[in-house]
Amino acid sequence: MAQSKLQADVPIETLLREKRKFPPSRAFVKRAVMTRKSIYAEARKNPVKFWEERARELHWFKPWRKALEWKPPYAKWFVGGKINVAYNCLDRHVTGPRRTKAALIWEGEPGDSRVLTYWDLYREVSKFAAALKRHGVKKGDRVTIYMPMVPELPIAMLACARIGAAHSVIFGGFSPEAVRERIHDADSSLVITADGGYRPRHLVERLHQGRARAVPGRGDGLRGPAVPPLHLGLHRQAQGDHPYDGRLSHRHHRDAQVDLRPPR
Q: Does 117 or 235 have the greater pLDDT score? A: 117
Res 130: pLDDT: 93
Q: What is the mean pLDDT of the chain?
A: 79
Let me know: does 230 contact 191? Beta carbons within 8 Å: yes
Let me know: does 135 contact 230? Beta carbons within 8 Å: yes
User: What's the pLDDT tens digit per position in 141-176?
Assistant: 999 998 888 899 999 999 999 999 999 999 877 888
CATH number of the structural domain 85-254: 3.40.50.12780
Average pLDDT over residues 32-46: 90
Question: What span, in angstroms and rounded, lies between the C-alpha atoms of 126 and 237?
Answer: 23
Average pLDDT over residues 124-153: 92
Residue 160's SS3 state is helix
Encode burial over 206-231: b for 16+ CB neighbours within 10 A, e otherwise: bbbebbeebbeeeeeebeeeebebbb
Let me know: does 169 contact 188? Beta carbons within 8 Å: no
Question: What span, in angstroms and rounded, lies between the C-alpha atoms of 128 and 123?
Answer: 9
Res 98: pLDDT: 94
Predicted structure pTM score: 0.75
Going from N- to C-terminal start, the domains of the chain cover: 21-79, 85-254
Average pLDDT over residues 43-49: 96
User: What's the pLDDT tens digit per position in 208-259?
Assistant: 555 555 554 433 434 444 555 555 544 333 344 444 444 443 333 443 444 5
Q: What share of the chain is helix, strand, coil (3-state, %, to 5)?
A: 40, 20, 45
Whether 78 shows a pLDDT value over 70: the answer reads yes
